[in-house]
Amino acid sequence: MPAVALAAAVAAVAGTIGPDARWLSALGRSIVRLGALPHGIPYAAAPSGGWHNVPVLAELVFRGLQAGLGDRGLLGAQVVAAVAAVTLLQRDARRLGATDAGIAAAIVVLLVAGLLAFVGIRAQLFSLVLFPAVVMLLRSDEREPSRRVWLLVPLLALWSNLHGAALVGLGVALVYLGVSRARRRPLESAAIAGASALALCATPAFAGTPAYYADALTNEAARRGYGLWGPPSLSSGFDIALIAGAVVLLAGFVRAKPALWELTGAAALAALAAHASRNGIWLLLFLAPPAASGLRFAARPRAATVHCAALVLAAAAVAGFVRGPLEPGASRWLIVQAIAVAHGRPILAEPATAEQIAQAGGRVWISNPLDAFRKSDQRLYLDWLQGRASGDIALRGKVAVVVSHGSFVERRLVRDDRFSQVATDGRFGLFVSRPW
């Protein structure tokens, strides 16, 4: 109970609307209004007609959450996802023989090391639940093989309609099926593997789903290691916590004497995390249940202390939800000013701010999902975001530009005599083109 309450409190109190969140609601609104999938990205001026829209269900869910409760609806979904994830991990750990103290220790390490995933409100919240569910199903089948393993197919089909990390879930499932289960039931394992791979294509894009995943994995941000796609860095406190937490959980994981497929899966997930820190959460979630069973503590807190802590954490979770999520982006006032100044023309803005503009009914040049646009436009946008001179071409024809104070793009804009700052909210500035 305290571990679940802690997860709820962390997600509710520190829950923050992150990049790669608001575009889902904006697209969901377009789908509802049109009664069909829009052609490309309707709120962006850059060409996007060939994009395969796969996470339609996530777009509709995010739209429904915001239409009903506003940003607080997204925060509520994040809290539910965090609680569900921890509940599944607890159940998996108990099946592996973990004690309450071991589970609590593993969950605390997980929440600290994976803090960004638990407080950053993004489409990833669906995967926080579905990844542990898939892994728990695989471990359950390893202990007692049964036809329940076929649940992989509908789980992966659902997951693919919600978030691209379904590809990670499929990879872990294939490791289990190929390294472990195939030795006992080769034909059935091969059939499950094939059906699971096909399940990822059970989306509105259908045959275009593989192209969606390929484009998502090879977009310009991923190629450059920009933003969420960047590798772990020792200059980031969050990444240092991620690395330290992974080491602690790995020690408990090894002590629990995992099966060969689990060692193989952990190695693959560690390689993914080394490539991009955003993938570190999958490694942590995979390691946590066995690590909990490998961690042993002689001392146990008193029941009264445990219950009191759970009540305090639950109260904090309620208070955090009532307050609402944190918003690191531009203020609503500045967004409205930018839309008014643009007069329907596309606004150039950083990713999270561009999503705010799109959700507010404005039009941007380019935004998330970045892989929906041409590679040439992706490169130009990234050049602009990174303050390269080659990115100044993106400013051509733009009436309004919104940038964060202290950013690379602001430093170049203040030296550009074609633009002048007309408004600021203390964190972001609105620049407009000078009349000539």
**Does residue 288 sit in the same domain as residue 374?**
no
For 398, list phi and psi in degrees, rounded to 5: -90, 135
Q: Is the pLDDT of residue 52 over 80?
A: yes
41 — pLDDT class (breaks 50, 70, 90):
very high
Q: What is the DSSP letter of 44?
A: B
246 is written with which tokens?
A: 């992974």
Q: Are residues 257 and 147 in the same domain?
A: yes
CA dist 3 → 12, 263, 324 (Å): 14, 26, 22
The Cβ-side half-sphere exposure at 408, using a 13 Å CA radius, reads 12
Rg of the chain in Å (alpha carbons): 23
Q: Is residue 194 part of a domain?
A: yes
Question: Domain check: are 143 and 216 in the same one?
Answer: yes
Residue 404 domain-assigned? yes
pLDDT at 325 over 90: yes
| β-strand partners of 433 | 419
Residues 341 and 419 in one domain: yes
Q: How many domains does the chain have?
A: 2
Confidence of residue 301 (pLDDT cuts 50, 70, 90): low
pLDDT for residue 193 is more than 90: yes
* Residue 433 predicted with pLDDT over 80: yes
First to last CA, the chain: 65
> How many Cβ atoms from other residues are within 10 Å of residue 183's Cβ?
10
Beta bridge partners of 403: 429
Q: Are residues 282 and 419 in the same domain?
A: no
In this prediction, residue 295 carries a pLDDT of: 76
Give domain status of residue 316, yes or no: no
> Are 284 and 394 in a shared domain?
no
Whole-number mean pLDDT of the chain?
A: 94
Work out the average pLDDT over 210-239. 94
- Indicate whether 314 belongs to any domain: no
**325 domain-assigned:** no
Q: Do 271 and 203 belong to one domain?
A: yes
Could you give the percent of the chain with pLDDT greater than 70? 97
Cβ-based burial of 218 (10 A; exposed 0-12, middle 13-18, buried ≥19):
exposed
Which of the listed residues 269, 294, 319 is the one where a domain comes to its end? 294
- Report pLDDT for 402: 97
Q: Which of 294, 314, 340 is the last residue in one of the domains? A: 294
Q: Could you tell me if 285 and 344 lie in one domain? A: no
What confidence score (pLDDT) does residue 210 get?
Answer: 97
Which pLDDT band, with edges at 50, 70 and 90, does 297 fall under? low
**Quick one: 282 and 354 in the same domain?**
no
Q: Is the pLDDT of residue 303 over 80?
A: no
Asked if the structure places residue 321 within a domain, the reply is no
192 close to 149: Cβ distance less than 8 angstroms: yes
Same domain, 339 and 241: no
Instruction: Give me the pLDDT at residue 228, please.
Output: 82
The amino acid sitting at 203 is T
Residue ranges making up the domain that contains 194: 2-294
Give the end of a domain, one of 276, 294, 312.
294
Cα 52-57-59 angle, rounded to 5 deg = 80
Residue 374 lies in a domain: yes
Structure tokens belonging to residue 135: 């892994």
Tell me the pTM: 0.94
Q: Once rounded to an integer, what is the mean pLDDT over residues 217-245?
A: 94
When pLDDT is cut at 50, 70 and 90, the band that residue 88 belongs to is very high
pLDDT of residue 112: 96
Average pLDDT on 323-351 reads 94
Peptide bond into 369 cis (omega under 30): yes
pLDDT score for 273: 97
Q: Are 41 and 165 in a shared domain?
A: yes
Spell out the residues 6+ positions from residue 40 whose beta carbon is closer than 8 angstroms to its own: 47, 48, 49, 50, 51, 372
> Would you list the DSSP string of 273-311?
HHH-GGGHHHHHHHHHHHHHHH---S----HHHHHHHHH
Is 300 part of any domain?
no
Residues 129 and 42 in one domain: yes
Report the pLDDT value the prediction gives residue 298, as an integer from 0 to 100. 54
Residue 227 has a pLDDT of: 86
For residue 407, CA distances in Å to 42, 95, 186, 200, 339 come to 28, 49, 55, 38, 21
Q: Stretch 383-389: mean pLDDT, rounded?
A: 95
Reply yes or no on whether the pLDDT at 376 is more than 80.
yes
How high is the pLDDT of residue 21?
A: 86
pLDDT band at 390 (very low <50, low <70, confident <90, very high): very high
pLDDT per residue over 132-174, tens digit each?
999 999 999 999 999 999 999 999 999 999 999 999 999 999 9
pLDDT of residue 294: 80
